[in-house]
Amino acid sequence: VNEKLSQEKISKIKDVIRWLLDSYYKATGFKAIFVDKKGKIFLSTTSDEYFCNFCKLIQSSSEGQKRCFKSFSNGMLKSTEYGFPYISRCHTGIIEWSAPFLYEGELLGSFISGGVLMRKPGSSFLKELKKVDETLKIEESRLEEPLSRIKIVSEKKVRAAADILHIMANYLTKMKLTDTRLRQEKYIQQARISEEIQSIKRKELELLEKEEKNENSFISVSSLYPLETERE
């Protein structure tokens, strides 16, 4: 597939992608990005394209950025293969989820969100992270503060956010890439997708505070969603 043509197709819907990313952030509180087929960041929810300060520090290393892009690409390919949002651990062990965008059967990119953990880092996590630090040549002490500020969220919140990301990707996939159609779709479908997002948010997010009082701080990921660690 011609790479330039793929980029032109994505550029046509740049405003719509940005709108979807902003709507997702407002609905879930999670940052998100849109990456191209190589895993490189094309758009983000804010001017800061990093999920959190920890991710920002990791990507300050050229090797770290390379590995992050590889994680994005792997998530995109897996979610395309499975046909539903793919939840995984990146190369540092941080949770992220992906939902691909296809147009006429061609994979053009993917929505990616994450930058969270589902439990406080334990000794095994820190041991693996130390290996990453040595490879990326980032002092362990520099990661302590940003690591401590990563959000700890439940499986249900992650799954609900992944569902919303999947709705966004499907919405984009069904759109036509003509300029007139795009202008009409953005406003005609805005109410529809907002309703779907809010419906999922009400069903899966609003009851979490009550439910989590009776739950442990860590819940294993449901078998409905694959959770794997990126490996070299």
**What band does 112 get if pLDDT is binned at 50, 70 and 90?**
very high
**Does residue 56 lie in a domain region?**
yes
For tokens 């919405």, what's the residue? 171
Residues 6+ apart with CB under 8 A from 1: 106
**Does residue 232 lie in a domain region?**
no
**Does residue 77 lie in a domain region?**
yes
**Does residue 220 lie in a domain region?**
no
**Does residue 177 lie in a domain region?**
yes
**Does residue 226 lie in a domain region?**
no
Q: What is the pLDDT of residues 31-54, one digit of tens each?
A: 999 998 888 888 887 666 788 889
For tokens 């992650």, what's the residue? 158
Q: Which residue has the higher pLDDT, 61 or 205?
A: 61
The pLDDT of residue 51:
86
**Does residue 224 lie in a domain region?**
no
The pLDDT of residue 42:
87
Q: What is the pTM of this model?
A: 0.75
The pLDDT of residue 224:
41
Domain count, the chain: 1
Q: What is the pLDDT of residues 64-95, one digit of tens each?
A: 999 999 999 999 999 999 989 999 999 999 99
Domain that residue 130 falls in:
3-212
Q: What is the pLDDT of residues 18-31, one digit of tens each?
A: 888 988 998 899 99
The pLDDT of residue 197:
65
**Does residue 163 lie in a domain region?**
yes
